[in-house]
Structure 1
Amino acid sequence: MSKAARKTLDEARDSGNPELDLQDKQIVSLEELPGLLSLEHITRLSLPHNRLSVVPPAIANLINLEILNLFNNIIEELPTSISSLNKLRILNVGMNRLDALPRGFGSFPVLEVLDITYNNISEEESLPGNFFMLESLRALYMGDNDFEYLSPDIKNLKNLQILCLRDNDLIALPREIGELTRLRELHLQGNRLEVLPPEIGNLDLLGNRCCLRLECNPWVPMIADQLLLGPSHVIDMLRNESYKFVYQRHISTGSQPPPKNFEAKNRKTSRKRDVA
Structure 2
Amino acid sequence: MGNSSRKGEGEEGEEGGVEGGVEGEEAEVTEEKKKEEEVEEELPLGVEELFDSGDPVLDLSYRKFKRLPSRVPGLMHLEKLYVCGNRLRTLPDSLSQLQGLRILALDFNKMEDVPPAVCQLTNLTRLYLGSNRLMNLPPELRNLQSLRCLWMESNYFQRFPRELYDLPNLKSLQIGDNRLKTLPPDLWRMESLRGLWLYGNRFDTFPRVLLRMEHLEILDMDRNKITEFPSLKRLHALRLFSYDHNPVDTPPKVGDEVLVVGEGAAEFLEAREAKFERRRKAAEKEAEELALAGEEPVIHGILKNSSSNSKQAVNEAVVTVGDADFKEDEAKEQEEDTELPVTEYDGAELVYDEDGIEYETEELICEGEGFEYEGEELEYERGDMDYEYEELEDTGRQDEGA
- TM-score normalised to structure 1 length: 0.71
Deviations 1:23-44 (A, max 9, x none): 11111111xx122122222110
Aligned pairs (5 A) from 1:36-47: 36-47=72-83
For residues 233 and 269 of structure 2, the distance between their equivalents in structure 1, rounded to whole angstroms, comes to 11
TM-superposed CA distance for 1:11, in Å, is 3.3
Q: Which has the higher contact order (CA 8 A, sep 6+)?
A: 1
For residues 188 and 225 of structure 1, the distance between their equivalents in structure 2, rounded to whole angstroms, comes to 13
Secondary structure at 2:127's aligned position in 1?
strand
1:215 aligns with 2:250: no
TM-superposed CA distance for 1:99, in Å, is 1.8
TM-superposed CA distance for 1:203, in Å, is 1.5
CA RMSD of aligned residues (A): 3.1
Answer yes or no: is the 8 Å Cα contact 2:137–2:163 preserved in 1.
Answer: no
Aligned pairs (5 A) from 1:76-115: 76-115=112-151
TM-superposed CA distance for 1:175, in Å, is 3.1
For residues 153 and 59 of structure 1, the distance between their equivalents in structure 2, rounded to whole angstroms, comes to 34
For residue 69 of structure 1, what is the aligned residue in structure 2? 105
1:147 aligns with 2:183: no
For residue 202 of structure 2, what is the aligned residue in structure 1? 169
Greater CA deviation, 98-107 or 134-143? 98-107
For residues 165 and 269 of structure 2, the distance between their equivalents in structure 1, rounded to whole angstroms, comes to 28
Secondary structure at 1:148's aligned position in 2?
coil
For residue 268 of structure 2, what is the aligned residue in structure 1? 230
Secondary structure at 1:186's aligned position in 2?
strand
Answer yes or no: is the 8 Å Cα contact 2:183–2:209 preserved in 1.
Answer: no
The one-letter code of the counterpart of 1:60 is S
Aligned pairs (5 A) from 1:113-192: 113-123=149-159, 127=161, 129-192=162-225
TM-superposed CA distance for 1:195, in Å, is 3.4
The one-letter code of the counterpart of 2:132 is N
1:148 and 1:25, CA in 2 relative to 1: closer, same or farther beyond 3 A? same
Deviations 1:210-255 (A, max 9, x none): 321112223498959975743799xxxxxxxxxxxxxxxxxxxxxx
TM-superposed CA distance for 1:89, in Å, is 0.7
Answer yes or no: is the 8 Å Cα contact 1:117–1:145 preserved in 2.
Answer: yes
The one-letter code of the counterpart of 1:41 is H
Matched residues, number? 230
For residues 56 and 173 of structure 1, the distance between their equivalents in structure 2, rounded to whole angstroms, comes to 41
TM-superposed CA distance for 1:109, in Å, is 0.9
For residues 97 and 269 of structure 2, the distance between their equivalents in structure 1, rounded to whole angstroms, comes to 46
Answer yes or no: is the 8 Å Cα contact 2:248–2:263 preserved in 1.
Answer: no
- TM-score normalised to structure 2 length: 0.51
For residues 232 and 62 of structure 1, the distance between their equivalents in structure 2, rounded to whole angstroms, comes to 52
Answer yes or no: is the 8 Å Cα contact 2:245–2:263 preserved in 1.
Answer: no
Secondary structure at 1:104's aligned position in 2?
helix
Larger Cα-atom Rg: 2
For residues 70 and 225 of structure 1, the distance between their equivalents in structure 2, rounded to whole angstroms, comes to 34
In structure 2, the gaps of 5 or more residues are 1-38, 253-261, 272-342, 349-402
Calculate percent identity across the aligned residue pairs. Answer: 27
1:7 aligns with 2:46: yes
TM-superposed CA distance for 1:112, in Å, is 1.0
1:152 and 1:159, CA in 2 relative to 1: closer, same or farther beyond 3 A? same
